[in-house]
Amino acid sequence: MFVAWVAVAATSSAAAADLPGRAIAHDQEKGNCLACHRMPADPGAETGATLGPPLADIKRRYPDRAALRAQIWDASVKNPATIMPPYGRHRILSEAEIDLVTEYIHGL
Amino acid sequence: MNARFALAGCALLAFGASVAAASPEEDRTAFVRTFQQRFPGIALDDYVHGGFMFSRASRSHYDDIMAFPPFLGDIERGKVLWDTPFRNGRTYAECLPDGGRNLAGTYPRFSAAENRVITFEMLLNRCRRDNGEAEYRYDDRATMGVLTAYARSLSDGMRMDIKVDGAAALAKYEEGRRLFFRRIGQMNFACSNCHLDNAGKVMRMETISPAVGQAVHFPVFRGGDELYTLHMRYTRCMMQVRAQPFPAGSEAFNNLEYFHSYLSNGLPLQASVYRR
């Protein structure tokens, strides 16, 4: 049982590490998500950030991927006082990059 | 609703009570009250330690480095600049009241005659100008940077004492205040979003310092050897949020420093400290 869990964890993080959205999310000149978020499911995500909530258990909490994408595109829709940058609205990332980041975050 | 809060949602919540008539003293006490409620048990005098004030471990890391500061050479170079007479034979100490001692904590000041804010660094440059020397650039570490590192140390221990008297002075203060609360740059951040709303939280690996206490300990040496004046640090934070930064020594930063320094009134000055 334990072995199986480790194996699953290893495959899923290996899979996450392969996703092109990961590099965009981690890049300080691009998503820079690690400035504010920990990503407990991705062991390579090195940060001590506490500005935003840890990005975890995402698939269960965002069964609808579009809602996740909308959060990334413009967090101020949900929370007008947010400090999360409006990645889509301010064109910090392109639409295609936001798709890739959404795919990666969805797997966390 | 007061327009200056229109873009600063969190600040509005925290400062709702003081929106109607925010005098500088009301601003300062509102900031202090907000922080002291959020961080009970931390003495106000400890705010000079910025991000290091929050944990014993990071504070002892700071104390270890400050026991043998790697930047003493820079301060020594500043002392040489300070002690070297101008070509007319006069010195900074002769140019400034009381030899420049216990002075930095009263700057920035508003000059009614010029209708502008005068910083301590401008004062040093005026000594140069009035004695026939070229002024230093405000972003030059090798001249103004090290000079101010030494000159400000002559005010170590004095309590910050900024005055905003009269409508014209208040207008400059308010200009600085507006910049502090205005969301800017591609990342859409105001200074207040980090240094008021999120002080004490960690951005990547750095604990964000509260705005109170920031203005009393400059310049800082990041990593132990890279000198930043207060204006250079402002520039860096603006670049981080991908805003077009104002230059060191600009009027926008002078006004920001006026507001920002008032927030630290009553705190002890300590020039030249280590920062990560």
- CA–CA gap between residue B211 and residue A73 (Å, rounded): 30
On whether the CB atoms of residues B215 and B261 are closer than 8 A, the answer is: yes
Nearest by Cα to B26 from B208, B252, B240, B262 = B262
User: Is residue B127 over pLDDT 50?
Assistant: yes
Contact: A34, B194; criterion CB under 8 Å: no
Hey, are the CB atoms on A34 and B189 less than 8 Å from each other?
A: no
Q: Does B168 touch chain A (CB under 8 A)?
A: no
Residue B35 has pLDDT above 90, yes or no: yes
What mean pLDDT do residues B172-180 have?
97
Is some CB atom of chain A closer than 8 A to the CB atom of B38? Answer: no
Specify which residues B118 forms β-bridges with: B109
Amino acid residing at B166? G
Nearest CB partner across the interface for B188, out of A34, A50, A85: A85
Helix/strand/coil for A65: helix
Q: Does A83 sit within 8 Å of B202, measured CB to CB?
A: no
Examine the residue annotation and report whether B237 is marked as an active-site residue of this protein: yes
Q: For B242, left (φ over 0), alpha (ψ -120 to 50), or beta? A: left
pLDDT tens-digit readout, A30-77: 999 999 999 999 999 999 999 999 999 999 999 999 999 999 999 999
Q: How many domains does chain A have?
A: 1
Q: Retrieve residue B133's tokens.
A: 């020397």
CA distance A16 to chain B (A): 21
Residue B10 has pLDDT above 60, yes or no: no
Beta-bridge partners for B207: B202
Q: Between chains, do B186 and A81 touch, taking CB under 8 Å as contact?
A: no
The verdict on a CB contact (< 8 Å) between A48 and B9 is no
With CA atoms as reference, the chain A residue closest to B188 would be A85
* B208 vs A contacts (CB less than 8 Å): 51
Q: Tell me the pTM.
A: 0.91
pLDDT in tens, A84-100: 999 999 999 999 999 99
C-beta of residue A54 within 8 angstroms of C-beta of residue A39: yes
- Asked if A77 reaches chain B (Cβ–Cβ under 8 Å), the answer is no
CA-based nearest distance B199→chain A, Å? 9
CATH number at residue A12: 1.10.760.10
Contact between B183 and B243 under an 8 Å Cβ cutoff? The reply is: no
Q: Residue B66 has what pLDDT?
A: 97
Identified catalytic residue from B95, B127, B191, B237: B237
Q: Which of A36, A51, A79 to mutate to test the interface with B (most CBs of B within 10 A)?
A: A51
Query: What is d(CA B22, CA B174) in angstroms, rounded to the nearest whole number?
Result: 10
Q: Over chain B, what is the mean pLDDT?
A: 92
Cα(A59)–Cα(B209) distance, integer angstroms: 34
The alpha-carbon gap from A30 to the nearest alpha carbon of chain B, in Å, equals 11
Q: Which domain holds residue A24?
A: 2-106
Question: Does residue A24 carry a pLDDT above 80?
Answer: yes
Would the pLDDT of B3 be above 90? no
What is the per-residue pLDDT for A15? 59
Flag whether residue B203 sits within 8 Å of chain A, measured between CB atoms: yes
Instruction: For residue B96, give the amino acid letter.
Output: L
Q: Cβ contact (<8 Å) for A51 and B203?
A: yes
ipTM: 0.83
Of A34, A83, A92, the CB nearest to B189: A83
Q: How many CB atoms lie within 10 A of CB B92?
A: 23
